[in-house]
Structures are given as structure tokens and as C-alpha cells.
Amino acid sequence: MSGKAILVLVDGTIYRGDSFGAATTTFGEIIFITSMTGYQEMLTDPSFAGQIVVPTYPLIGNYGINFDDVESAKIQVRGFVVREYCPVPSNRRSRGTVEEYLRRANIPGLSGIDTRSLTRHIRSRGVMMGILTSDLTTSEALHELKQLPSYGDTDFVKEVSVKEAFEWTPAHEQQRYEHNIIIVDMGLRFNIARILSRLGCRVTVVPCTLSSLDILAMEPDGIVLSPGPGNPALLDYAIENIKGLLGKKPILGICLGHQLIGRAFGADTFKLKFGHRGANHPVCDLATGKVHITSQNHGYAIDTDSLKGGLQVSHTNLNDGTIEGLKHSAMPIISIQYHAEGSPGPQDNTYIFDRFLQMVKEENRK
């Protein structure tokens, strides 16, 4: 541990605890996540860019850090706030501690605070900006915070997207592919590419700014619009590119990709009070009537009343009734708001990739 640190929220609420990881100052939107495991996946999930993440599970770090359970090439969160940090992990796969992992990436952590109180505060007041610091006083932090941009006014997608296209290379060096799939990277979680590769796809990841003409010139059999961070209303460049792809090739949108499909057809999006983040959100698949327990990580949703252009609701959230999936009445387009690739133990939600590839096969036969 490095000493003391504080978390100051923009409404003046202060939490004091112990610093771990990097002894520095950071700011971001304060959000909570209810998953009981998967803190390494949380830390490396690009959808958390610009955010300070608060797991509600009270003990973090007990199984350490390994080289496999990552969802991107680096830590993406701006800060990490926990109830109790375990400095001595015990797991056969562990290759280090969370504190070492954070320190190498210059990301600060805070432990020893009442994360239940913080979670209840966010549920009551809504997500808000905050500063995590071991350098500033509370008054200095609050003054600094009020000068900083809000989360919803920043385009984080361009920060996390790849700059150049690359082909995803599976570990088993598969040589024969059934389908050529393009993933538009707006904050790609690696497991999407892993699953598609395992299902026999040649996967190429391209930047979020690549034009629809350039994407189609790569002759894909299907296109995946990845998850990602931030406010979908800021992403006009991505929406215009998606419009150029509609009806040309089968499309699967996931999380942010789902929201952008909605906006490409003229629907509106809105900010949720405290988001959906965790591994136990019930979603009903209207096509089958089945209820799936899903992994989720998003702060925005599509306005049901604004749907148009042939989009139909395919999945709903059983907690609050928000849209969890879309399909088009005529075009080969489907989308989900949740993370089918999340696989928090169970992997039953990967059925959506089978559904997408079946759509690809049917289009190829035409």
C-alpha cells in the first residue's frame, strides 16, 4: 500500500481510504459493477474507458492477475475503488498482484472505503464525475473536478479503437476459414474475436473510422459492430459509416454497436441513471421466450418509442423493460445490448454468434 487517498465526487461527497496501485491523480465517471468475479476483465474492458470502476463484491485481488484473462491490450479504467484489496493472491494461474498490475499502467486504486455506501449513493443520485487522488486536498480536488469535461461530452471510441486494421490470429493457427468477418473496433473485447475464430471465421479488426466503402472492399461475409465506451450521440462518423453498410452485408451489433444501429435508423438513445453493469441481468429472447442471465456493461439505451425504419425489438430487459436486442424486418441485421461474449462461467449466451453466422450462410446462398 502506498498511503492514503481520497475519492471526491462532483456533488461534494468524500470517501477516504488507502491508496494502492499508482500514487497519482485521476478523474472519471464513477460507476459500480455487480459481478462477483472477473476483475481483470473489468480492468481491461475498453467500455470502461473514462470511468472509475467500483466493484460491489467486497474482496478483490484474491486470485491475482494472469496473462490470459484480458479483454484488450492494456488497462482501460481510469481508477479502481474496492472495499478490501487482497495483497497475497492464491491461484495456480496467478502471475502477479492487482496492485502491481495497476502500478505498471500508472492507474490509481483506492481500498478500505464503504463501497456499499458509494453504490447506494450512485443508485440514488445517478452516476457522476469524481476524482481519485493521493496528491490533492479535498477542496483542491473539488475545484479541479468542476473544471473538467463531463463523461458524456467526450468521444472515447477514438481513444480505444485500433489505428490500423489487423487480422486476428487464433492460438491454434487455423488455416481454413468458412467465413470472412470484419469487426469494426469501437472498443473491442478480445473474446468476440476469440469466439468467432473458434467458430471457423477469418477475423479482421478495423478502425472505427474506416469508411463503409473500404470495409466493403475487403469483401466480408459479415460485419460485427463492437462494443465500446461513451455516448453514442457523439459518434456521427460511425453512424454515417454504418448507414453505408446497411443492407449490403449481414450485421451483428453488440452493446455500443447495437445502439449505433438504432441511431443509424433514426432512433434516439438516452443515458441510464446508473447503467447496467454486472453478470446477472435477466434478458428475455422474444423469439424463443427463453430468459438468459447476461453480462452487461453500458450506460446508455435505445428509446423504444423512437424505433423506426423496420427495426423490431428482439430482446427485453426483465428488470426495467429496456431494449436488449433488435432485428430488422427485411435486412440481415441483428443486435444485442448485452455482452454475449462475457461468459462469466456459463457460455450459453454465445448462441447469438451462431444466429449471426446462420444469417451469413443464408445470405451467401442467395
CA distance 107 to 77: 8
Instruction: Establish whether 255 is a catalytic residue.
Output: yes
CA distance 322 to 324: 6
The residue annotated as part of the active site, out of 121, 255, 292, 328, is: 255
CA distance 103 to 46: 19
- pTM here? 0.95
Q: What is the pLDDT of residue 2?
A: 65
Cell output for 335:
443486435
pLDDT beyond 70 at 31:
yes
Q: What is the rounded average pLDDT of the residues 9-25?
A: 96
pLDDT beyond 70 at 170:
no
pLDDT beyond 90 at 174:
no
Instruction: Establish whether 164 is a catalytic residue.
Output: no
pLDDT beyond 70 at 172:
no
Instruction: Establish whether 276 is a catalytic residue.
Output: no
pLDDT tens-place string over residues 39-66 = 999 999 999 999 999 999 999 999 999 9
Per-residue confidence at 344, pLDDT binned at 50, 70, 90? confident
Average predicted confidence (pLDDT) for the chain: 95
pLDDT beyond 70 at 1:
no
pLDDT beyond 90 at 107:
yes
Per-residue confidence at 365, pLDDT binned at 50, 70, 90? confident
pLDDT tens-place string over residues 206-245 = 999 999 999 999 999 999 999 999 999 999 999 999 999 9
Cell output for 336:
444485442
What are the two backbone dihedrals, phi and then psi, of residue 213, each rounded to the nearest 5 degrees?
-65, -40
Decide: 128 and 9 in contact? Cβ < 8 Å.
Answer: yes
